[in-house]
Amino acid sequence: MPQPEDPRILELRKMRAQALAGGGEERIAKQHAKGKGSARERIEGLLDPGTFNEIEPYITHQGDEMGLLKEKFLGDGVITGYGQIDGRTVYFYSQDFTIYGGTLSEMQSHKICRVMDLAVRNGTPFISLIDSGGARIQEGVRSMGGYAEIFRRNAQYSGVIPQIAVMLGPCAGGAAYSPALQDLVIMVEKQSFMFLTGPEVIKAVTGEVIDAESLGGAEVHMAVSGVAHISVPSEQAALQTVRRYLAYLPSNNVENPPYHQPASLPTQVDDSLNSIIPLDPGEPYIMHQVIEKIIDPGSFFEIQAAWARNAIVGLARIGGHTVGIVGQEPAVMAGVIDIDASDKMTRFVRFCDCFNIPLVTFVDSPGFLPGIAQEHGGIIRHGAKLLYAYSEATVPKICVITRKAYGGAYVVMSSKYLGTDVTYAWPSAEIAVLGAEGAANILFKKQIESAADPNAERKKLANEYREKFNNPYYAASTGYVDDIIEPRETRLKIIASLSALRDKYSPSPPRKHGNIPV
Ligand code: HXC
């Protein structure tokens, strides 16, 4: 005869069903009507099937400020737990907009901090799925203190485990500092926005009128502010992007990045590279194409593609191994280095160094951008960050000078004596303090002025200078480049260098931490 179900089990099932219901059918339908998934649907899209384990689903807010007691929801607006991505464990949280708009209460913060602590203790990546009205207004300082707890962990765990923020709805007020402290910020176009003060406050304080999308939507954070790293058209694409990104990374700072069987043989080289650099040094070419022809096919994961487009940063694989690519895009502003490009490259170099990702740098830059706005904007301070980052990085560093490496740009872009392990130059490389015309003007000012034909004299002297310095041979003769190679040899040379540098040991002097010029 079948036993009656234990009432305690029935009670648990009831509680579970209540926790699964979130803010209720009506609010979930509202979320769907906006084209957004529920917090639980998003978790399904993120993880390998059947690997989700929830933690603390019965937590509710505590207290009764402004009538809060009237409505208590299990989970308190956030789902936390762990699961797997491509067979590797990750910890995460997913804010539930159907409960108090996903806002952060003291207890929600406790839940989030709990999974952050477990992630760092177990050396796994941490993922934030963010969809929230910010601090829960009713809880006042308790919710703000909750944010402080999260920010502190974001900072302390930075460089220990990868932290990824996926923006799936609003992220208003100081809450935006949590994604800003993480390694990767992914935004969904026309669905997510981030700002410290919203359109209403801005209107009241400065009189400026703007809507939420134009103020802090994906497009603006991709192209103007540089706050977002990747934008995608849908939340499914955002979740897939997390999975793709993690495939390049180790789970923590003491592991090496995973190896992936390359789609092409390491020996497969692209002969067309030998004719990619125009004979006229003033003519641009596309560095993205150079990169694509050297890395494993289709492996480029570009970061901040729409911001500071004169610089390129992204992850890739060469011969199956993860590398961080840094470079200039000569087709944009001739690849000059300005304030934003310095910041973009600095952050990426430091990210790669945190997670044992070798750096491959492609250099083609006429130098730092001249101008009053740049000088007054602190280009010295910003450029210094890049010097700091390359000098500090102890991962294998390989540099390829494809064309221009002038003055400051030569030095900051992974130059040999910043500690770069291998420096290659293509025959098209021009390595000098200044371009030929500028150098002739300064060095031979009197001679040019007193010549019968100053223009012809300048041209003649510039040509002499060009022959001496605007090529890689002077640099190679003095040991400033290790080898001059044909462009089509680059892939093989990088693979060989990576293999030779795999066990690189480069300890730094002990210190609490450095003082990067932020
Ligand atoms: C409590 C909130 C809330 C908040 C929204 N809700 N924001 N509850 N505290 N901050 C609730 C609403 O009452 C509503 O409850 C539900 O969430 C959904 O909100 P709606 O307004 O109906 O949704 P929508 O029209 O989509 O607008 C979403 C929104 C808007 C853009 C996020 O709600 C908004 O502007 N909220 C305030 C944002 C804000 O200023 N936050 C504080 C930032 S300062 P019901 O019961 O109807 O479902 C901050 C300080 C952090 O975060 C400090 C750290 C340093």
Rounded to the nearest whole angstrom, what is the distance from the C-alpha of residue 202 to the centroid of ligand 1? 17
Residue 174: pLDDT over 90: no
Among protein residues, the one whose CA lies closest to atom 41 of ligand 1: 134
Percentage of the chain with pLDDT > 90? Answer: 90
Among protein residues, the one whose CA lies closest to atom 3 of ligand 1: 133
Write out residues with Cβ below 6 Å of ligand 1. 27, 100-101, 103, 133-137, 144, 147, 170, 172-175
Q: Which atom of ligand 1 is least distant from the CA of 134?
A: 52
Mean pLDDT calculated for residue range 60-87: 90
Rounded to the nearest whole angstrom, what is the distance from the C-alpha of residue 132 to the centroid of ligand 1? 7
Please give the DSSP secondary-structure letter assigned to residue 333. Answer: G
* Short-list 352, 463, 335, CA closest to 410: 335
Among protein residues, the one whose CA lies closest to atom 51 of ligand 1: 174
pLDDT of residue 122: 98
Mean pLDDT calculated for residue range 118-127: 98
* Short-list 303, 295, 301, CA closest to 320: 295
State whether residue 265 is helix, strand or coil.
coil
7-246 maps to which CATH number? 3.90.226.10
Mean pLDDT calculated for residue range 309-335: 97
Percentage of the chain with pLDDT > 70? Answer: 100
Residue of 31, 61, 100 best suited for mutating to test ligand 1, as the one with most atoms within 8 Å of CB: 100
Among protein residues, the one whose CA lies closest to atom 8 of ligand 1: 100
Residue 69: pLDDT over 80: no
Residue type, 264: S
State whether residue 282 is helix, strand or coil.
coil
pLDDT of residue 436: 87
At residue 34, what are phi and psi to the nearest 5 degrees? -85, 5
Beta strands 483-484 and 163-172: pairing type?
unpaired
The mean predicted confidence, pLDDT, of the chain is 95
Pick from 282-286, 327-331, 419-423: least confident: 282-286
Pick from 236-250, 358-372, 438-452: least confident: 438-452
Instruction: Identify the band that residue 274 occupies on the pLDDT scale cut at 50, 70 and 90.
Output: very high
pLDDT of residue 114: 98
| Topology given in CATH for the domain delimited by 271-434+471-500 | 2-enoyl-CoA Hydratase; Chain A, domain 1 (3.90.226)
Residue 1: pLDDT over 80: no
pLDDT of residue 282: 85
Residue-wise DSSP of 411-426? HHTT-GGGT-SEEEE-
pLDDT in tens, 176-235: 999 999 999 999 999 999 999 999 999 999 999 999 999 999 999 999 999 999 999 999
Instruction: Identify the band that residue 438 occupies on the pLDDT scale cut at 50, 70 and 90.
Output: confident
pLDDT of residue 64: 77
Rounded to the nearest whole angstrom, what is the distance from the C-alpha of residue 259 to the centroid of ligand 1? 43
Q: Which residues contact 86 (CB under 8 A, 6 or more apart)?
A: 48, 243, 246, 247
d(CA 78, CA 19): 11
Q: Which atom of ligand 1 is least distant from the CA of 102?
A: 17
pLDDT of residue 67: 75
Residue 66: pLDDT over 80: no
- Report in angstroms the alpha-carbon separations of 290 from 16, 410, 415: 54, 19, 20
Rounded to the nearest whole angstrom, what is the distance from the C-alpha of residue 249 to the centroid of ligand 1? 35
Mean pLDDT calculated for residue range 234-259: 97
> 126, 160 in Cβ contact below 8 A?
no
Rounded to the nearest whole angstrom, what is the distance from the C-alpha of residue 55 to the centroid of ligand 1? 25
pLDDT of residue 269: 87
pLDDT of residue 261: 87
Q: Which residues contact 391 (CB under 8 A, 6 or more apart)?
A: 418, 419
Instruction: Identify the band that residue 244 occupies on the pLDDT scale cut at 50, 70 and 90.
Output: very high
**Residue recorded with tokens 């900072």:** 155
> 468, 510 in Cβ contact below 8 A?
no
Report the Cα–Cα distance between both ends of the chain, in Å, rounded: 74
The residues assigned a catalytic role are: 173-174, 408-409
Q: Which atom of ligand 1 is least distant from the CA of 135?
A: 52
Q: Which atom of ligand 1 is least distant from the CA of 27?
A: 48
* Short-list 83, 84, 108, CA closest to 96: 108
Mean pLDDT calculated for residue range 148-154: 98
Beta strands 311-318 and 321-328: pairing type?
antiparallel
Q: Which residues contact 335 (CB under 8 A, 6 or more apart)?
A: 287, 310, 311, 328, 329, 364, 365, 366, 404
* Short-list 350, 361, 351, CA closest to 245: 351
Residue 266: pLDDT over 80: no
Residues of the chain with CATH 3.90.226.10: 7-246, 271-434+471-500
Residue 263: pLDDT over 80: no
Q: Which atom of ligand 1 is least distant from the CA of 172?
A: 43
Among protein residues, the one whose CA lies closest to atom 33 of ligand 1: 133
Instruction: Identify the band that residue 434 occupies on the pLDDT scale cut at 50, 70 and 90.
Output: confident
pLDDT of residue 435: 85
Among protein residues, the one whose CA lies closest to atom 25 of ligand 1: 101
Helix-strand-coil split of the chain, %, nearest 5 = 45, 20, 40
Residue 264: pLDDT over 90: no
pLDDT of residue 378: 98
Rounded to the nearest whole angstrom, what is the distance from the C-alpha of residue 101 to the centroid of ligand 1? 6
